[in-house]
Chain A
Amino acid sequence: MKNEYEPVIGLETHVELYTNTKMFCGCRLSFGEEKNIYTCPVCLGHPGSLPVINKKAIEYAVKIALALNCKIKKYTIFHRKNYFYPDMPKNYQISQYDLPLGVGGYLDVDIGGYIRRVWITRVHMEEDTGKLLHKGTTGRISESEASIVDFNRAGTPLIEIVTEPDIRSPEEAREYMIVLRNLILFLDVSDCSMEEGSLRCDANVSVRKTGEDKIGTKTEIKNLNSFKFLQKGLEYEVKRQIKVLEAGDEVIQQTRHYDSKTGTTKALRFKEEAHDYRYFPEPDLVPIYIEDKMIEDIRKTIPELPSVKAKRFEKQYSLPKYDSNFLANNKDLSDYFEQCCRHYNNAKNIANWIMGDFSALLNKEKMIIKDSRVTPENLCKMLEIIDKGKINSKIAKSVFEEMFSTGGNPQKIIEDRGLEQISDEGLLEAIIEEVIKDNPGAVEQFKEGKDKAIDFLIGRVMAKTKGKANPGIVNDIITKKLS
């Protein structure tokens, strides 16, 4: 009965930009240092202080809007969004209302098998709030007897990205966020860390009988602060709403909080004052006219975006779609990959190593490829050595591990550890003779036609040569000798 329903999901994403200074004052952005050390009359909302717009923040916002295929409004202004909350220094947030910076964009999300085009309603600029720390045992707002406000974060430039309700499943929501995050990382305007809260996401969810086109009553889910929680929270909420409807009840429009401990969503115990934000044009700021020149200059700073890059990789390096996407979605990996391609011509080999052993080690060490000690040159040297048959893949693994930990040159590692593959037939003949002598049983079986036996014999030869013997040649010699 569940699949009679389809979820209708829209996402509101907040992205903290990493400019040097705040949106409306010269205070530095803070990264969880001491409380209230990056503040001034403006971001503390002191009487008489006035905001002045950070140009860089506008440029970053335009960059994001363009990358999301938005139309940039030539004329845009800030509004005041009025409501009282202790993390808001002025008890209004300088935000945008009916004249947002960007409108009508989209983001294509590849959901293994099909593409979901998620339309972007608006991209607008605003200022972040301070941070509330809740005193008391649980650190939960509902149980704390008092709260502490830290205004270091207050005034940090924020971009809000609002989608149409185009998302049809929690998985799609998760994929959308991953693609959006990669995109913004490519733009180099935010570190997009969900742990640090520089990328935050709220969801509007409703469900409806599949086939219907009117949208049901929605709830807003907050605190979905990881890809996993986003999906889990939405899955729970969708199930919950279906249960409600199935029971013949109605979904109540409300804001709900996702609790990652229980994996459930709870209606906020006290809902903020019936929303009446009393938006009006911010009289302390003047309008912004974004000239075409500015748009074009900013467009030039936008690098090749993941989707485009992936297609190019498929064509230019004739990589499989999977590999292309895997590499293209990660700026560092794709940069590294292309550097390698300059030194070595078998792109698929490079891709395999980057996606395989290399990524495995990186994950294990919680490192990013930029910081690894393996230079593209050395990786390529190693691949050439393998191609020349100087080492086999098994040895290569251990060589690579040493390159990874020491940053050493593969040729040198191989020489120092004498790992070069033995292809000298004379040398191998002698060893093979011994093996045949020592393993009559296996020899018998081979003669009776049990092919398995030869693998055993080769294994013995390998063991004797510490894996350095060239398996191909060993195979030939044994077969020759025993037939």
Chain B
Amino acid sequence: MAVLRGNLMERISKDDVKHVAKLAELEFSEKDIEKITSQLDRILEHVANISSVNTEGITPTSHILDIKNVFRDDMAEQSVTQESALKNAPDEANDGFKVPKID
């Protein structure tokens, strides 16, 4: 349910913050959770003032410019070498990027 904090003064809870951190692949210490929860709550409470704006029949803007149909032709361009592809790899094994056990 899209509840607007502006309307029902729904506060963001520590559990919300933990869930969002999971989605964002971030982690916080318990004490940081406290802090960030109150900071987010304050910010979200402020931005929720837009809920009072009447946007009946107003279309959302995701592009300021009315550009459309920007395409490339299907022409091959030079790829980078395997060496430069792997150049920044934190860990590398047989020509690939190595990652720890997937969980």
Q: Are B85 and A149 in contact (CB under 8 A)?
A: no
When distances are taken between beta carbons in the complex, the residues of chain B under 8 Å from A270 are 102-103
- A20–B75 Cα distance when bound, in Å, is 7
- The answer, among A57, A58, A141, A148, for a CB contact under 8 Å with B98, is A148
When distances are taken between beta carbons in the complex, the residues of chain B under 8 Å from A27 are 76-77, 79
* CB-CB contacts below 8 Å: B71-86 with A: 71-82, 85-86
- The answer, among A39, A147, A273, A287, for a CB contact under 8 Å with B68, is A287
- A133–B96 Cα distance when bound, in Å, is 9
When distances are taken between beta carbons in the complex, the residues of chain B under 8 Å from A133 are 96
B100 at the A interface (CB under 8 A): yes
B22 at the A interface (CB under 8 A): yes
Closest Cβ–Cβ distance, residue A379 to chain B (whole Å): 38
- A273–B21 Cα distance when bound, in Å, is 12
Q: Are B93 and A37 in contact (CB under 8 A)?
A: no
- A6–B73 Cα distance when bound, in Å, is 48
Given A56-B74, A278-B23, A281-B62, A35-B95 contact (CB < 8 Å): yes
When distances are taken between beta carbons in the complex, the residues of chain B under 8 Å from A132 are 102
Contact with A along B55-71 (1 / 0, CB 8 A): 00000001101011111
Given A21-B74, A40-B77, A286-B70, A149-B97 contact (CB < 8 Å): yes
Closest Cβ–Cβ distance, residue A467 to chain B (whole Å): 57
B52 at the A interface (CB under 8 A): no
Closest Cβ–Cβ distance, residue B13 to chain A (whole Å): 17
Contact with B along A265-294 (1 / 0, CB 8 A): 000001001001010010101111100000
When distances are taken between beta carbons in the complex, the residues of chain A under 8 Å from B79 are 26-28, 37-40
Q: Are B71 and A53 in contact (CB under 8 A)?
A: yes
Q: Are A288 and B69 in contact (CB under 8 A)?
A: yes
Q: Are A52 and B72 in contact (CB under 8 A)?
A: yes
Chain A interface secondary structure, helix, strand, loop or mixed? loop
A54 at the B interface (CB under 8 A): yes
Closest chain A residue to B88, Cβ basis: A46
- A298–B82 Cα distance when bound, in Å, is 37
Q: Are B94 and A35 in contact (CB under 8 A)?
A: yes
Closest Cβ–Cβ distance, residue A25 to chain B (whole Å): 7
Q: Are B23 and A276 in contact (CB under 8 A)?
A: yes
- A380–B59 Cα distance when bound, in Å, is 66
Which of B70, B75, B78, B96 has the most A CB atoms < 10 Å from its CB?
A: B96
Given A286-B67, A286-B70, A147-B85 contact (CB < 8 Å): no
Q: Are B82 and A34 in contact (CB under 8 A)?
A: yes
- A55–B97 Cα distance when bound, in Å, is 30
Given A37-B82, A54-B71, A148-B94 contact (CB < 8 Å): yes
When distances are taken between beta carbons in the complex, the residues of chain B under 8 Å from A53 are 70-72
A411 at the B interface (CB under 8 A): no
B101 at the A interface (CB under 8 A): yes
- A58–B76 Cα distance when bound, in Å, is 16
- A39–B23 Cα distance when bound, in Å, is 28
Closest Cβ–Cβ distance, residue A270 to chain B (whole Å): 5
16 residue pairs bridging A and B, Cβ less than 8 Å apart: A19-B74, A20-B74, A21-B74, A21-B75, A26-B76, A27-B77, A34-B82, A36-B95, A55-B74, A77-B62, A86-B102, A144-B101, A146-B100, A270-B102, A281-B62, A285-B70
